[in-house]
Structure 1
Amino acid sequence: MSVQALAGVIFYVSITRLQNTVGESIAFGKNAKQSTTYGEHDASHALDRTFSRIGSATQSGNLPWWEVDLRGYFTISSITLTAAIPYALYNKMGNAFVEVMNKDVSLCSDVQVVWCGNVSSTVTAGEEFTFTCNATFPVRYVRVTRLSTTNVQLIIGHVDVQGIGATKQYRSHYTPTANWRVYIPSLTTSAVTAGACGILCHKSHSCIDFSYRTTASTEANCLLTDKVVPENSYGLNHWTMYTLDSCL
């Protein structure tokens, strides 16, 4: 199968996701975003304990939200939100609620959503709130939204997501981008065709994107990743990056 032919190919396979390491948040290092960003308090800070005193912060707005793309499909056992530490910041997580979804709600029209629970109206410094989610579908997205009748900030000290990889049978369409490749491969291997590289991505834990170049099959020409940032620079003209369509 040629690289060009792969653009329109639909794969139907069963993916067996591997069990997550006990104690390690499956959200760590994944792609986080939020409705707005206050100062330098990026959405990704809520996933890194280095920033847990303050974490992520939105600007004041109506129904501010924070979301993480788990870059794979999981059965969620628990989600823990930790409030910020400094005075006057920790209560800016009050009345927030947690949901899990199978698709990107900002892009897809047929999203499955399950409500997991909500934070109390009064929060103390560094307080933790743990929720269980009874989703009957494999989860890819976790979203936190703060309810309010006025403009408010949403500040989250830390988000921990526990779960195991889900076995999911689904169809996938990859969109190709020429002259790009994945930035931090989780697996570097070889494949005879781009289609074969795509099948390896299906079978590998949390693989969402992959890159392939036409070369000798014994060379490292197939890169799998669960990271987000691609690489585009001089010398990559033989690579093509394939990105999973999250709405399928």
Structure 2
Amino acid sequence: MSARALVTLAVCLSLTKLQNTHGESIAFGKLAKQRNSYPGYPASRALNAIYSTTGSFTYLANPCWWEVDLRGYFDISNITLTAATNGWGTYMSNAYVEVIDKDVSLCSDAQVEWCGNVSSTVAAGEEFTFTCNATFPVRFVRVTRRSTSNTFLNIGHIDVQGVGATKRYRSYYTPTTGRKVTKPSMTTSAITAGECGILCHRNHSCIDFSYSKTASTESNCLLTYEVVPQYSVARNDWTMYTMDNCL
């Protein structure tokens, strides 16, 4: 077997290992946001159980919403919302959960699947688990609360369970020359930027990637699920490729 074939086999095996994970918690540490934030209670708090006493909290709005970008594509098995333990659970009542394949603020053709509805009465620390039956790979989870007037949305904690899914093929990434991701989720090798992009496509947790013609051939392709300014650095010999959310 040629050296090239051995490298290809090794990459395929490593990607298969990533995709065979079952029942993993896939939301922790991902990118959360909400319509607005009550001072001191940002959306990210709902993803960390250490803050479950109070969780995340929006300011007055109608509707209120909270959303997490999973920075990858997944088949969702279930989503569990836990009410805050300090009595703010009333501000989670009647909220409903949806899963979405694209950023609804940018894309007009996003697919949405309703997963379930929180009851009208919520006890402190009460859990609500919803099963989602989306027929498409999911990237976003959104919680929405509507009312007859402005209200709040509070989430003590949210846990999303799922496994990596095969995403639709993306052939276009926006290149940014002179930048390199600093927190790759996987470091590998590729002969061309196009091959690095194919590896990103095959890896369910990859959204964006960086490639260098001159870096070490063992580490010239960096795959990542979070390319935001604080996780990239100026490097003249690298190019960072960012996916268009609506492709």
Give yes or no for TM over 0.5: yes
SS in 2 for 1:109: coil
Q: Distance in 2 between matches of 1:210 and 1:176?
A: 10
Structure 1 unmatched ranges of 5 or more: 1-14
Q: Is the 8 A contact 2:169 2:201 kept in 1?
A: no
Higher relative contact order (CA 8 A, sep 6+): 1
Q: Is the 8 A contact 2:172 2:244 kept in 1?
A: yes
TM-score normalized by the length of structure 1 = 0.87
SS in 1 for 2:70: strand
Q: Which residue number corresponds to residue 25 of structure 1?
A: 25
SS in 1 for 2:169: strand
Deviation at 1:181, TM superposition (A): 2.0
Which letter does structure 1 place at the counterpart of 2:41?
A: H
Change (3 A) 1:41 1:127: same
Structure 2 unmatched ranges of 5 or more: 1-14
Q: Distance in 2 between matches of 1:104 and 1:202?
A: 18
Q: Is the 8 A contact 2:71 2:226 kept in 1?
A: yes
Q: Is the 8 A contact 1:92 1:154 kept in 2?
A: yes
The percent of aligned pairs where both chains have the same amino acid is 66
Mapping 1:1-248, distance limit 5 Å: 18-22=19-23, 24-87=24-87, 89-216=88-215, 218-230=217-229, 231-233=231-233, 236-248=235-247
Q: Distance in 2 between matches of 1:128 and 1:199?
A: 40
Which letter does structure 1 place at the counterpart of 2:58?
A: T
Q: Is the 8 A contact 1:183 1:227 kept in 2?
A: no
SS in 1 for 2:236: coil
Q: Is the 8 A contact 1:31 1:228 kept in 2?
A: no
Q: Is the 8 A contact 1:101 1:142 kept in 2?
A: yes
Q: Distance in 1 between matches of 2:185 and 2:167?
A: 20
Which letter does structure 1 place at the counterpart of 2:101?
A: N
Higher helix share: 2
Deviation at 1:180, TM superposition (A): 2.2
Which letter does structure 1 place at the counterpart of 2:153?
A: L
Deviation at 1:232, TM superposition (A): 4.3
Q: Distance in 2 between matches of 1:187 and 1:100?
A: 26
Q: Distance in 1 between matches of 2:111 and 2:158?
A: 21
Q: Distance in 2 between matches of 1:59 and 1:223?
A: 38
Q: Is the 8 A contact 1:172 1:244 kept in 2?
A: no
SS in 2 for 1:175: strand
Q: Distance in 2 between matches of 1:27 and 1:79?
A: 10
Task: Kindly report the root-mean-square deviation, in angstroms, between the aligned alpha carbons of the 2 structures.
Answer: 1.8
Deviation at 1:36, TM superposition (A): 0.5
Change (3 A) 1:92 1:188: same
Deviation at 1:183, TM superposition (A): 2.9
Q: Distance in 2 between matches of 1:219 and 1:238?
A: 16
Which letter does structure 2 place at the counterpart of 1:71?
A: R
